[in-house]
Amino acid sequence: SLCAAGEPNLSYRELKDLKKANVLHIDVRERWEIDRFGKIPESINIPLGELMEALQMDPTEFKEQYNQKMPSKSDPVVFSCLAGTRSKQALGFAMSLGFS
């Protein structure tokens, strides 16, 4: 299940359309889940337990750790997980840090 601030629930098709518009897709599942169930193309994996720290990193450190440019607080970001609970938590974390 997928979450974005403007649209709390997205379909996979909506996500594919958003990805064409340079939306950063963060998968908040655990690494073992990615290994077991597969990676969503062009997503970056930041397990929910690491997300608050990751979103507050120095941009250079973020790029080194996740091989991706750190999103600014106004960049479009979509979170996903397996069932939707963690992606909603991730959205709440990001918004509490000032992401719109």
Q: Is 3 noted as a catalytic residue in this protein?
A: no
Catalytic residue of the set 3, 48, 78, 81: 81
- Residues paired with residue 11 on neighbouring β-strands, in sequence order: none
Helices vs strands, H then E, count in the chain: 5, 4
Helix spans in 20-84 (H): 31-37, 48-54, 59-66
Task: Compute the CA torsion angle 84, 15, 48, 67 (nearest 10 deg).
Answer: 170
Q: Which residues are catalytic?
A: 81
